[in-house]
């Protein structure tokens, strides 16, 4: 086997395990931060400062009884959580974690794959991941789950369009769909007279950034767009009937896709691994943490949307805005190239 | 090379089996899942042909959007309510068979003209590299030689959207007639009967809603829930 391929595989295994570990502690930090915001203490019983809580939770979920409802569509019911769980970390394969490093005399690239349609690949995986939720909702043979699945279908289709279109401005400016290329372009400096700024796309595409952020929250089914699992009305929605480790698959998938979409946002809009002093990986991690904190902050601050507000926001507000953004970016790009 | 052939055979085999399963399955949701498997395998074959853009579009458009909408509709409909599947009429069968043959012939012609008879088209690997990659190549072809069909397709899709909006528009009556409207009232704020004196006082004083355009509606006890046609309610109150 060729050495490059082998190092890609090894790197993929490392990324997968790091994501799973991060995910566990993401739940811990979410609970701690939420507790702080709500003037509570948060988990503090298991281990020092409650640090062993995620492990205890994991053991608890794995050892619980796996219940399959009598009238459930058995095969789909068993398949649906796997669908979610397998697809969410797969999207991380195209994210560049830094420049290549030297290991045992081999040049090892810090990404699993650099494909020329990396950004589209990311969107494609995201659009597939919703099947887990829809099928889970359908197979449970439960009205609430079915409603959760239906909501998810409508929500994800609407917000996927917004998510994809908000990236087009970046593609127009960078002229590439490859994340490695997009990051390397953001490493350059943007000189505005005496002002030296990093050429991050958040500066040239601020509107697209805001829209992407909103769509990303909706895409991962997080508050305030968590209508597919709205506890107060749907009793958990698509995962009402799931228990034990099948439930934990949905749970894992949600948190991993949060982490992955944060990494993606940091890569596209915040210059990815670009930054002084520290290594690229740390910068990428720090920037992703900003987004993750934002997710939690939103959850504690903003009440859940009503369903028609959610759809209205996507189609009547965000879609026109994002189309205007594409038009303006295109015109400016043509003008910059001297073709207008 | 041998590995590539093996992988291709595996992918196309799964795609064909899944396509067959899509037709044979009794449950429409199972059919939809079989179709997902077909689409994903076809996308993988596109990747093997170094048409990554096509693969991504295949997944985003077909799997991520169209099939999700399919499932959306299928989940809304109880499978028992679906009409019985029945064979087509003889004329339809002949026509369908003929169209199938034409489609197969087209595909065969496209393959044969490129491989057996003539030299390969302009988009070999070198041609693509010259255009700067397969996204750039597709973009150039779509927006130069095929610009008219692209625009025509866009127009047709726009017409379809407007058509759907037209069909799904709400009824034209500005306000539904009182006979079709219902008034629902529920009160959870008081214990049974505790507020009857106040209500009686309000009724006696003929107090109106803040806007002054309608009566205040009040339920007389906590368990009372009314859903009466508005016509009767209005008649009752006007008496």
pLDDT tens-digit readout, A47-104: 787 788 888 888 888 888 887 878 777 888 888 888 888 888 888 888 877 766 666 6
**Closest residue on chain A to B60 (Cα):** A124
Helical (H) or strand (E) element with B54: helix B52-57
- Residue range A221-250: average pLDDT? 76
Query: How far apart (Å, rounded) are the C-alpha atoms in residues A295 and A265?
Result: 13
Is A215 in contact with A163 (CB distance < 8 Å)?
A: yes
Distances (CA, A) of A1 to A5, A7, A8: 7, 10, 11
Report CA torsion sign: A83, A84, A89, A90: positive
Q: Which two tokens stand for residue A198?
A: 């990093």
Of residues A42 and B215, which shows the higher confidence score? A42
Helix (H) or strand (E) holding B225: strand B225-229
* C-alpha span between A27 and A251 (Å, rounded): 10
Query: Would the CB atoms of A134 and B75 count as touching at under 8 Å?
Result: yes
CA–CA dist B50, A175 (Å, integer): 20
Q: In 10 A of CB B67, how many CB atoms?
A: 21
Can you tell me the distance from the alpha carbon of A224 to that of A226, in angstroms, rounded to the nearest whole number? 6
CB contact under 8 A, B71 and A117: no
Structure tokens at B173: 């009556």
Residues 6 or more apart whose Cβ sits within 8 Å of residue A287: A266, A270, A271, A272
The predicted structure's pLDDT at residue B222 = 46
Q: Are B190 and B222 in contact, with CB atoms under 8 Å apart?
A: yes
Interface test with B, best of A72, A73, A116 (most B CBs within 10 A): A116
Higher pLDDT, B231 or B147: B147
Tokens, residue B45: 């074959």
**Residue of A80, A127, A139, A144 best to disrupt the B interface, most CBs of B under 10 A:** A127
Res B119 pLDDT > 90: no
Residue A127 to residue B76, Cβ atoms within 8 A: no
Distance CA B76, CA B69 (A): 11
pLDDT recorded at residue A230: 66
First to last CA, chain B: 90
pLDDT of residue B184: 52
Give the residue from chain B lying closest to A171, CA to CA: B135
CB atoms within 10 A of CB B24: 10
| Strands of chain A, DSSP E | 101-103, 106-108, 189-192, 195-198
Give the residue numbers in B contacting A (CB under 8 Å), as ranges: 27, 29-30, 33, 36, 40, 52-53, 55-57, 59-60, 63-65, 68-69, 71-72, 75-76, 133-135
pLDDT digits (tens, 9 = 90+) for A182-235: 777 777 776 666 677 777 777 778 888 899 988 888 888 777 777 766 666 777
Strand partners, B229: B182
Mean pLDDT estimate for chain B: 76
Residue B152 pLDDT level (bands cut at 50, 70, 90): very high
């Amino acid at each position: 086997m060729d050495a490059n391929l082998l190092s890609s595989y090894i790197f993929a295994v490392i990324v997968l395990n790091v994501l799973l570990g991060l995910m566990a502690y993401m739940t811990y930090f979410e609970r701690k931060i939420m507790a702080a915001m709500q003037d509570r203490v948060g988990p503090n019983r298991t281990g020092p400062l409650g640090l062993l809580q995620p492990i205890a939770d994991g053991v608890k979920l794995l050892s619980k009884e796996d219940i399959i409802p009598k009238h459930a569509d058995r095969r789909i019911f068993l398949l649906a959580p796997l669908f979610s769980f397998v697809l969410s970390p797969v999207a991380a394969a195209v994210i560049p974690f830094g420049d290549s490093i030297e290991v045992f005399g081999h040049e090892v690239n810090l990404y699993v794959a650099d494909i020329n349609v990396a950004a589209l690949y990311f969107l494609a995986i995201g659009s597939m991941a919703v099947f887990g939720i829809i099928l889970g909702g359908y197979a449970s043979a439960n009205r609430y789950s079915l409603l959760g699945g239906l909501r998810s279908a409508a929500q994800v289709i609407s917000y996927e369009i917004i998510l994809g279109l908000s990236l087009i401005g970046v593609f127009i400016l960078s002229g590439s769909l490859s994340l490695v290329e997009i990051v390397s372009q953001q490493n350059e400096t943007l000189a505005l007279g005496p002002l030296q700024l990093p050429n991050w796309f958040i500066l040239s595409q601020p509107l697209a950034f805001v829209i992407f952020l909103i769509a990303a929250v909706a895409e991962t089914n997080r508050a305030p767009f968590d209508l597919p699992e709205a506890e107060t009305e749907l009793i958990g929605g698509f995962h009402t009937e799931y228990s034990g480790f099948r439930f934990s698959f949905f749970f894992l998938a949600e948190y991993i896709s949060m982490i992955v979409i944060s990494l993606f946002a940091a890569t596209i809009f915040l210059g990815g691994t670009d930054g002084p002093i520290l290594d690229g990986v740390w910068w990428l991690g720090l920037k992703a943490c900003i987004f993750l904190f934002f997710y939690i902050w939103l959850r504690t601050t903003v009440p859940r949307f009503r369903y028609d507000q959610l759809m209205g926001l996507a189609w009547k507000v965000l879609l026109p805005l994002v189309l205007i953004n594409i038009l303006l970016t295109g015109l400016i790009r043509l003008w910059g190239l001297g073709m207008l | 090379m041998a590995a590539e052939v093996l992988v291709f055979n595996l992918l196309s085999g799964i795609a064909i089996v899944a396509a067959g399963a899509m037709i044979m399955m009794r449950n429409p949701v199972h059919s939809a899942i079989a179709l997902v498997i077909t689409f994903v395998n076809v996308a993988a074959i596109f990747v093997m042909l170094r048409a990554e853009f096509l693969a991504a579009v295949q997944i985003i458009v077909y799997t991520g959007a169209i099939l999700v909408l399919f499932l959306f509709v299928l989940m809304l409909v109880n499978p028992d309510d679906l009409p019985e599947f029945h064979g087509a009429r003889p004329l339809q069968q002949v026509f369908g068979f003929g169209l199938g043959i034409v489609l197969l012939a087209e595909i065969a012609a496209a393959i044969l003209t490129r491989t057996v008879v003539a030299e390969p088209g302009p988009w070999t690997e070198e041609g693509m590299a010259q255009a700067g990659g397969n996204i750039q190549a597709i973009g150039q072809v779509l927006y130069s030689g095929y610009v008219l069909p692209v625009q025509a397709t866009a127009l047709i899709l726009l017409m379809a959207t407007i058509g759907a909006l037209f069909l799904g528009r709400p009824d034209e009556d500005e306000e539904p007639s009182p006979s079709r409207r219902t008034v629902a009232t529920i009160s959870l704020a008081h214990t049974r009967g505790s507020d009857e004196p106040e209500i009686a006082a309000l009724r006696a004083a003929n107090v109106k809603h803040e806007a002054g355009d309608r009566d205040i509606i009040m339920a007389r006890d906590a368990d009372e829930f009314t859903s009466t046609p508005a016509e009767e309610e209005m008649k009752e109150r006007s008496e």
